[in-house]
Amino acid sequence: MPYVSSNPRQAYLNYRDLDLGLNTKNAKSSFKQAQVWGGKYFKDNFNRLVRIKTMVDPENFFRHEQSIPLMI
């Protein structure tokens, strides 16, 4: 499979590993809270993804339990 990492094995975004952590329900996700699970989930890409999310979706319309938070 050309699109799957093998060493180490890592999850794809559509798979939500809620055991790592999740955003607070009905509240704005804080960068500090999301950094705990985001660093485990997205590795070194987390900070870059936060910057992109802040530019592309400043209203945080696209969100779920483990969505990238805004840089606020």
Say what angle helices 46-56 and 31-42 make with each other, to 10 degrees: 120
Is 41 a known active-site residue?
A: no
Contact in structure between 35 and 46 (CB atoms under 8 Å)? yes
Q: Which of 3, 12, 15, 41 is catalytic?
A: 15
Neighbour count for residue 30 (Cβ, 10 Å)? 13
Catalytic residues: 15
